[in-house]
Structure 1
Amino acid sequence: MTPSGILESALYVDDLDKAEAFYRDVMGLEVLTRLEKRHVFFRCGDGVLLLFDPSQTVKPPAPDARLPVPPHGTTGNGHVCFRGTADEIERWKAHLGKHGVEIEADFEWPQGGRSIYFRDPAGNSLEIAEPRIWGL
């Protein structure tokens, strides 16, 4: 058995309001749902990006919880890579610059394909890359 793909990816943030504004207004993602002080979820292509406050998700669900999601979370910065074409990456660089987002790295991979790296307000490492960096 092999999964057919990744449905959702999670990052952990210390300020949901700042993170929501960044991913909605800068990254252009559609908010799917928000639970105050716990999480905000976004549609991203055919997947979902989950942003959690780790201080809340480490708590076990209440015994009568409608959705008994087990505790989870992490500390430190995470990483997510968004898919983009070469032209889109160039446009992203300009767009991010207009929003004051610093590009930390911009390079061509030895096997082909380009990546740019930058940070969200929580310090998570974000990347936009051509799928061919993975032979896709």
Structure 2
Amino acid sequence: MKIKQIKETCIYTQDLETARLFYCEKLRLPLISYLPDKHLFVRVGNSVLLCFNPQDSQQKKTPPGHYAQGKIHFAFEVDADDYQKTKQEIIEMGITISDEVTWENGQQSFYFEDPSGNVLEVVPVGIWIA
């Protein structure tokens, strides 16, 4: 087996309209599908961010029901040359940077939250390369 990448990342929120405004309007991610009270799907490069209403999703038979509680984490990847610019753009959008970490390899990443409290991170390309 040779798995190439994680294609989808899923988070859960009951307020899908606020999620749509944040991800599609504020962060300008392209909308794939939006069904109020059910789901929001947005394109993130070659991947997809799935936002499900947990009350709807856990009732499904197919695909299998799923849901989670608490602060879910995922990271957006940007070119290393765009890291500082992306951080500045996030700040200019009025989004608070909650933390910035310098990792053992000397690269940095920063964290912020979406309106549901999920923890988002921005990482430069190559952060996971040894």
TM-score by length of 2: 0.92
Residue identity (%):
33
Whose radius of gyration is greater, 1 or 2? 1
Matched residue SS, 1:19:
helix
Q: CA deviation at 1:87?
A: 3.2
Query: Map of 1:54-65 to 2, 5 A cutoff?
Result: 54-61=54-61
Aligned residue in 1 for 2:65: 71
2:74 is the counterpart of 1:80? yes
Count of paired positions:
130
Report the AA paired with residue 26 of structure 1.
K
Q: CA deviation at 1:122?
A: 0.3
2:122 is the counterpart of 1:128? yes
Unmatched 5+ stretches in structure 1: 62-67
Q: Is the 8 A contact 2:80 2:125 kept in 1?
A: no
Aligned residue in 1 for 2:42: 42
Q: CA deviation at 1:135?
A: 0.6
CA distance in 2 between partners of 1:50 and 1:35 (Å): 12
Unmatched 5+ stretches in structure 2: none
Report the AA paired with residue 72 of structure 2.
G
Query: Map of 1:87-126 to 2, 5 A cutoff?
Result: 87-126=81-120
Q: Is the 8 A contact 1:26 1:96 kept in 2?
A: no
CA distance in 1 between partners of 2:54 and 2:77 (Å): 26
Report the AA paired with residue 20 of structure 1.
R
Q: Is the 8 A contact 1:86 1:114 kept in 2?
A: no
Aligned residue in 2 for 1:65: none
2:31 is the counterpart of 1:31? yes
Aligned CA distance change for structure 1 residues 87 and 131 (closer, same or farther; 3 Å): closer
Q: Is the 8 A contact 1:113 1:131 kept in 2?
A: no
CA offset digits 1:95-127 (Å, max 9, x no partner): 112221100112321123210100000000000
